[in-house]
Amino acid sequence: MTEELALEISDVSINFGGIQALDSVELAVAKGARIGLIGPNGAGKSTLINCVAGDLRPDTGSVRLFGESISGASAPSRARLGISRTFQNLELFNAMPVIDNVTAALDVRIRGRARVSGARSRAREALASFGIEKYADLPAGSLPYGIRKLVELSRAFVREPEFLLLDEPVAGLSQPEKFLITLVEGLDRLGCAVLLVEHDMPTVKSLCEYVYVLDTGALIAQGTFAEVASDERVVAAYLGAEA
């Protein structure tokens, strides 16, 4: 059963100097599934993403990726298992051209000319899929926020992940609908699972078949978008009465 899961989080807790950022969280993502993670500011969403990607170690609990326990594994070794992520606060090399930012995500160890040019053509394809290939030779730091978000996403996609962690990919984009269409095309092509953290509810509603809701570190609801959106605790803690 476990090998059908891309991700299985069990009893994960983490405390930062008295702040219980995650409190016994249980969450699963089936292979190829599109799962949402929502909740108010400070709920622990990015902390959970960091615990899965290996950028943080939980105090207790276990994280399994594709059926393997990865609790002790580094971020790079988790990436080699097929996981890619984006950061809420973009982590680009601002002085480097966009194309080099994306090529760097491929981790080309062998320096042969064919390998490098192969990596660059894959990077160009990834940029083209998000409609931003015309920025390839410009320094990433010189571009508007919305374009940098798409560069970050190109970095995640160029690795052809089996499981993608997205931390607020839509925030700051002027055309989230257009972005979503491209994202879904990419996920379909790769058969890739996704765990999406997002405050933009139309995006969560249209992408995610199942949604978890965190509040002050604890899960307060889970179900389809319609189910959680009508849950009294979710309305009170996050969505407000107008939802």
Q: Which residues bind Mg ion (CB under 5 A)?
A: 45-46, 88
Contact 99, 137 (CB under 8 A): yes
Contact 116, 108 (CB under 8 A): yes
Is 46 among the residues that bind ligand ATP (CB under 6 A)? yes
Smallest gap from residue 47 Cβ to ligand ATP (A): 3
Smallest gap from residue 216 Cβ to ligand ATP (A): 8
Q: What gap in Å lies between CA 24 and CA 216, rounded to an integer?
A: 12
Q: Report what 145 binds from ligand ATP, Mg ion, none; CB cut-off 5-8 Å by kind.
A: none
Q: Please state, in angstroms and as integers, the Cα–Cα distance from residue 188 to each residue in 34, 166, 226, following that order.
A: 11, 16, 23
Which of 162/167 has CB closer to Mg ion? 167
> Which of these ranges, 36-44, 76-84, 132-140, 179-187, lies near ligand ATP under the rule CB under 6 A?
36-44
Q: What gap in Å lies between CA 143 and CA 135, rounded to an integer?
A: 8
Q: Tokens at residue 188, please?
A: 């379909």
Cα-based angle 10, 12, 15 (whole degrees, multiple of 5): 175
Is 47 among the residues that bind ligand ATP (CB under 6 A)? yes
Smallest gap from residue 235 Cβ to ligand ATP (A): 17
Which of 124/205 has CB closer to ligand ATP? 205
Smallest gap from residue 167 Cβ to ligand ATP (A): 7
Is 78 among the residues that bind ligand ATP (CB under 6 A)? no
3-state secondary structure of 61: strand
